Amino acid sequence: MSIEIQNTKAYYAPTKGRRYLSKQAAIRAEARAIIEKHVPSIKPCRCSPEYCGMCGDPGWSCETDQPERFARYMAMLTAALKSKMGQRGCEKRMERKHD
């Protein structure tokens, strides 16, 4: 057994800052990162009884508190990112044909 170097196609999600092996995973991660950037979550309060009397603030997240809105945003963004990736692929293919 030996270690080999393999070249693999990877898709980069710039807002998320990660690489993914499938196009769909990269699109979904990028859409989630864009939503989180524009509609940030608020972490729940983890205070002690001496500090503020256990306020019990549950925090807020678009995905859990407004699932319809989050689903609509995900659908719109994934469709837009898919079409944008498709256009880029066509441009590259056209450049290759003309060269």
Q: What does pLDDT average to over the chain?
A: 82
CA 33 to chain centre: 4
Task: Provide the pLDDT confidence category of residue 62 given band limits of 50, 70 and 90.
Answer: confident
Which are the contacts of 8, defined by CB distance < 8 A and separation ≥ 6?
A: 21
Helices (DSSP H) in the chain: which residue ranges?
Answer: 23-38, 49-52, 62-65, 67-98
pLDDT of 96 strictly over 60? no
Question: Which is more confident, 54 or 35?
Answer: 35
15's tokens: 């807002």
Q: What percent of the chain is modeled with pLDDT above 70?
A: 79
pLDDT of 50 strictly over 80? no
Q: The pTM is what?
A: 0.70
